[in-house]
Amino acid sequence: MVLISAIANCNCNGEFSSCFREKHDFITGKLPENSKKPNKTYGIIIAISYRNTNFNGERRIKVTALSSRERVLKVFAGEKPDRTPCFSGMGNVTTEGLKALGHKFASVHLDAKKMAESAATSYKTFGYECGLVPFDLCVEAEALGCDINVYAHSEDLLYPTIKEKVIHNESEMEIALPDNLTKRGRVPLVCEAIELIKKDIGKDVVIGSYVLGPFTLAGQIMELNDLLKLSFKKQDKVEKLLDLLADAIIMIVKEYEKAGVDYISVREMGATSDVLSPRVFKNLIQPYLKKIFDNMKAHGVLHICGKTNDIAQFMVETGADAISVDQKNDAAETRKKLGSNALIYGNFDPYNVLVTGTEEKIRETMRKCIDDGISAIWPGCDIWPTVPAENFRIMMDEVQRYRR
């Protein structure tokens, strides 16, 4: 048996009869004289083995393709996959999936079974290469004592929001963590949803979750404007709060890991360099992110919104396995700055490309992400639920076909 690489359905001085996505299918076709992959082409790259037996000048070929789970885990391990994976560390439930299940968006935030079922539809319907819960940004703040509104009876696409914060002024910043933090709010519900979705699709795709970063979480439990002002005027108070919140996040991360997640995204959206300087990020934000990743066993991804080129190296230094950048970031520049070994996920606009974009725009954007050196195609933020089903399918089709 000889292990080679080949290209299905492409013109490279050789032909194959069809395109395969399943394991252990058989195809026949003429082998190209040079089996090396062309610089840029369309076609599904497959690992194949063949017996040295001719029939009419052709060979019988057995196809072995990576599963979505295997593909993503290869990337996390720093190994080269058969193609660029497309998944996310942020919410990606769609109205298409909700409609198929008969679930209302408002109801899935309060029911672990509905949450898990809804999350699984993005893989089952479109081949999206992950299953991820939850869908909102209030889980940690709720566990810390914030009152939230989930709009349980709404027919609209309304995400849970915070009604009442824990900290109302500077004098209230000296808080203590509740003794039963991981049993409060919806933390147990999210853990149950992780277990359910892992049982459902965990053999096929990676299972993920996310937590807020300390600075972003601080902006949830107190007024963000006050937090920003105090970050410059009374940094010691902010540092003490961030250290405490890092401990809270680590506690929740450990519960998600027990439930079975493969990876966790730390979403530090509030610390964007659109607001904070690189110096402030390194001195104030980075130490507490590093504390979290130092205590994380699952694969860790750090996501920060906005233009992050100036802090990309600082992001890597937190100890995250990968960094996630949004559409404002110059991914090619980040790749050049960080080198070939860094894992960089991103960076398409989930609304202006995936929801409202034309087929041509979607395909061009996916190709650009890959050409810019992205390790895995991720949206710049949550995928908006109303994404047209056809657009989602176009994105996955382009990712599966295009090669850098």
pLDDT tens digits, one per residue of 209-247: 999 999 999 999 999 999 999 999 999 999 999 999 999
**CA 143 centroid distance within chain:** 23
Q: What is the pLDDT of residue 61?
A: 40
CATH number of 68-403, picked from 3.20.20.80, 2.60.40.10, 3.20.20.210, 3.40.50.300: 3.20.20.210
Strand partners, 346: 377
Per the listing, tokens 């991360």 go with 253
pLDDT (tens digit per residue) in 325-362: 999 999 999 999 999 999 999 999 999 999 999 999 99
For 296-316, what is the mean pLDDT?
96
Of all helices (H) and strands (E), which one includes residue 60?
Answer: strand 58-64
Mean pLDDT of the chain: 87
For 275-298, what is the mean pLDDT?
96
Confidence of residue 64 (pLDDT cuts 50, 70, 90): low
Strand partners, 132: 208
CATH 3.20.20.210 region(s) of the chain? 68-403
Q: What angle (nearest 5°) sits at the alpha carbon of residue 358, between those of residues 357 and 361? A: 80
Q: What is the pLDDT of residue 7?
A: 32
pLDDT (tens digit per residue) in 125-184: 999 999 999 999 999 999 999 999 999 888 899 999 999 999 999 999 999 999 999 999
Q: What is the pLDDT of residue 154?
A: 87
Q: pTM for the whole thing?
A: 0.85
CA distance 157 to 399: 28
